[in-house]
Chains A and B, each alone.
Chain A
């Protein structure tokens, strides 16, 4: 059955493993299972996943339009914050869910030869499923309020892709660190809160005084949401590179995304071989 010349590789814990199909199949299976389990036992299923962003949106929209009256100068303000909130929630779910993922999957990691990276990636995949589901409802909402899909919406998948890559990098980093340091959980909770207000979700980036725009858009989430506003909500809104002050300056958020991915991969790969015994 096995060619005598080829000696198989030494047995050791793998991060991805030699078999990409198996890696993908495991990640997919784990994600689908997790996703199914969320809907099991709750009658309303899908609607519960929508409830969180839409209820929060309802409160925020009321406060910011009636009290702060932000909507006067922002076209389709409601559609913007809804898209922004859903995208930010995806990022929060993917990274926050990754933190404890390895520990939660302890039995898989300790009892089976299991590619390590499957675990955080499946968390990101679940968050992506949820994003897809909520985006459907958000798009319906957008159409009702007069924002229709057009050609520039093609930027949206790209924005989601970059956001996913960024979230994956952070998720890898957090999940590996959490095995050693258990206070990553509260630290990341606070960090996510701070990030929420440092990102133009409830406001828009061109309302920010000019001197703060560049540091604000160093945050990749801010850059992505600003670009999303132009592409999806209002093509009169400035593009990300206009707000940050020139295309070359986009190198900063880009470097942060790539840096997060590189750091995440590096830390995770270093921690992966001993995860089974450190848990």
Chain B
């Protein structure tokens, strides 16, 4: 029973964190209908940013969250205006975005190897707390709780943005129907650019905590983070950022249950869940159809 409880609570925590990892990808897809296949690499950039702050400046890696937001603005806005309007004017923006962001992913990988080398990098183990916190008698490292708190904070902020701000209403309108939003006078490019920056910032923020949840970061794990993120958002609901929470929870609980009782098969979980969801509920657990053929 203890193992079951530990796997369940661990799965919830792990899942909430992976919702943060995936939510930026879902926001960008929802608003722009573009597949950011470089998402995992942007997550890594957040992790390496925190590493630089910690190793070079001696700062607590949590400041990497601020660096991720600043980095997303500095990198995201020029990147958006350089490529996205052109892609959206093309015949097949989804496929072209796939190819373009694949190229960006390869570039980021190459830059990370050139700058940091191919080996693993970690953050100071006690920077986010050196103890363990318990819930229902099951204890987990402090860093897990900090990562989960940040995930919940960011998700709450995103929810408030969607439901309480004019830009948030506009973003939801674009997610619902881009053409209608354009017809009602919403500045789609401006809102999309902001969403793109927010999406990258969310990825970078998640990256700060990756070394604590996954042991270390190295340039080779970007693609794996992208595919896991895809699984999470498809399980939840592709195009519905808040549905990512549900996707993350299903993924986290499923993975840690498998690790507990059938560890050899644990990495199959996200993809098995993805196949099942696509077959039974193609729009995801909380979703509605996002593509019209």
Chain A complexes with chain B: no
Residues of A at the B interface (CB closer than 8 Å) are none
Residues of B at the A interface (CB closer than 8 Å) are none
